[in-house]
Amino acid sequence: MESSNPMYLWPEVRPLATAAELAELQAAAEKDKHVVLFPTHVVRKAGEIVGYGSICAAPVMFVWLDTQRVKSRESMMLLAVAENLARAKGVATLLMPCAESSPFSPLMTSMGYNEIGKTVMYAKKL
């Protein structure tokens, strides 16, 4: 649907509103060979979904444990404690970045984590 308003040609960001809109987003992303994770907003251009954002919706856990002073069994127990703390706060899905060099890396899938591609995580102080 085209409009005479030139602003209609610019992408527009709006909160994700309905289950139908989520399904539309997932179909558009899948067609472009992308996955949708924790969407909060959709991006539309000329009325069609062209993207999404997950703004402060993805619960992420960062972990460091000393590789010399913390035994592997202790690491597993501490990770379980952290997961239970997140669960107690109502977290249903937890993201955990893990470097390939981490001793946890080869164990992540056996601990129930699903690999989400080979994405590098970046940080920016606001």
pLDDT at residue number 6? 62
- Beta-carbon count within 10 A of 29 CB: 18
pLDDT at residue number 54? 94
pLDDT at residue number 27? 98
- Please name the residue that has the structure tokens 């919706």: 57
Per-residue pLDDT of the chain (126 residues; tens, 9 = 90+): 455 666 567 999 999 999 999 999 999 999 999 989 899 999 999 999 999 999 988 889 999 999 899 998 999 999 999 999 999 999 989 999 988 888 888 999 999 999 887 877 888 888
Map out the domains of the chain as residue ranges: 6-53, 72-111
N-term to C-term CA, the chain: 37
pLDDT at residue number 118? 80
Q: Which two tokens stand for residue 5?
A: 């308003």
Report yes or no: 52 and 16 within 8 Å, Cβ to Cβ: yes
In angstroms, the Cα distances linking 31 to 26, 49, 78, 122 are: 8, 12, 40, 26
Distance CA(49)–CA(4), nearest Å, equals 19
